[in-house]
Structure 1
């Protein structure tokens, strides 16, 4: 069940129900109902918010098992992305870094 997996990952991260709800921007009551299997069909948007805060993919919440590499990234890349996310870097900052790196590589080739 999705709720059981949310609870498992939340507890693994050492987060309280309140903390996850606040950080993900979702209703604590809904999150609690999901974890207790009262609510069983959360929206994709809800799952995205929760998964992002838990630094996992939605697949981890909806599937019993997730095969390594199923995200399309090897484990080293996946860990680097998670580290970047947990460090507080924004998507925009990361995109800017990539653009700068492309520009720098192009300059070196010229």
Structure 2
């Protein structure tokens, strides 16, 4: 799936979740309804400024519209990472742990 198609789907899905019509979102974002429709239907490649206007109108971060990973992350993994952070672990601690576990696995294979 190409970037334009993903962006269009993200915008449309977010708009529908908020129960907004195409007209309403276009008005709030300050763009024409036909232009918004062409973005949702993957017919045009919007500028960063337009994406920002749409994100603001939808009240979502720009990253949510651009990211192909939004909504794909396993909630259990997200929860584990948040728990680790809440316990005071930082990214380097987690990297060290992963390196140690990797070393343990490779050491067992070498035996």
The interval holding the TM-score normalised by the smaller chain is 0.5 to 0.7
Q: 2:46 aligns with which of 24, 42, 47?
A: 42
Unaligned stretches of 5+ residues in structure 1: 69-73, 75-110
Q: TM-score, normalised by structure 1?
A: 0.57
Cα distance between partner residues in 1 of 2:55 and 2:36: 12
Unaligned stretches of 5+ residues in structure 2: 1-5, 76-81, 83-111
Q: TM-score, normalised by structure 2?
A: 0.57
**Which protein shows a greater Rg?**
2
Shift, 1:53, TM fit: 1.1
Q: Please, what is the CA RMSD of the aligned residues?
A: 1.8
Q: 1:24 aligns with which of 23, 26, 29?
A: 29
Which 4+ runs in 1 deviate beyond 3 A?
A: none
Residues paired across the two proteins, number: 68
